[in-house]
Structure 1
Amino acid sequence: MRSALVFAGAATAEIAGCFAFWAWMRLGKPVWWLVPGIASLMLFAWLLTLAESTAAGRAFAAYGGVYIAASLVWLWAVEGFRPDRYDLAGAAICLVGAGVILWAPRSA
């Protein structure tokens, strides 16, 4: 459960940070948008270290599924584009994959 919360926070921070760069370069926002964007990306990196995993690569792989789903929430909530059924199906598949990676029983 803790990892799910960590991943949700990390996804929000990463998407917000990346969006700051997107807004500056593609939407004509002022360069100062990069200041909170960089801080948000630093928060993302720190949060990801809190994931309950013995291996960074496994944590990063599982996080990827959460990132995809969170990106679609951002698409809808911030950008105003409603995800279609293919977006939702793809995100569901990714979340199942993230769960398998993160919570599969493993031997030492």
Structure 2
Amino acid sequence: MGSVAIYIGAALAEIAGCFAFWAWLRNGQSSWWLIPGMASLALFAFLLTRVDADMAGRAYAAYGGIYIAASLLWLWGAENVRPDRWDMIGAALAIAGACVILFGPRG
């Protein structure tokens, strides 16, 4: 599985896990939401260890751009709020930065 696919899976797992906590604390959902939330956050952490990167910090930095874009997709898909042009510009800049970090030549 390629690094980009792993990052996308990690982003979905992290956002879903964090949203479970949000639903419990902010939306008044049952504390049972925490069980799949914690499992999802554990999956997120596991997936980030599968990225082909020489250093953890570099893997996490590149992941940041993917996370930003995935968060805006979550905003649109799960919360029914369409990202505006400033959201999209910010996501494009973040993805560009992630690509520089992830695919930049290393000597």
Tell me which interval the TM-score lies in, with the shorter structure as reference length.
over 0.9
Q: Determine if the alignment matches structure 1 residue 46 to structure 2 residue 38.
A: no
TM-superposed CA distance for 1:10, in Å, is 0.1
1:54-108 residue CA offsets vs partner (Å, 9 max, x unmatched): 100000000000000000000000000000000000000000000000110011x
Q: Determine if the alignment matches structure 1 residue 80 to structure 2 residue 71.
A: no
For these two proteins, the number of residue pairs brought into alignment is: 107
Runs (4+) of structure 1 moved beyond 2 Å?
none
- What 5-or-longer segments of structure 1 have no aligned partner? none
Give me the whole-angstrom Cα distance separating, in 2, the residues matched to 1:18 and 1:101: 25
Give me the whole-angstrom Cα distance separating, in 2, the residues matched to 1:71 and 1:11: 8
AA aligned opposite 2:83: P
Q: Residues 8-87 of structure 1 correspond to what in structure 2 (within 5 A)? A: 8-87=8-87
Paired position in structure 1 for 2:100 = 100
Give me the whole-angstrom Cα distance separating, in 2, the residues matched to 1:35 and 1:80: 25
Q: Residues 1-12 of structure 1 correspond to what in structure 2 (within 5 A)? A: 2-12=2-12
AA aligned opposite 1:70: A
> Share of identical aligned residues, percent?
63
1:11-49 residue CA offsets vs partner (Å, 9 max, x unmatched): 000000000000000000000000000000000000000
TM-score where L is the length of structure 2: 0.99
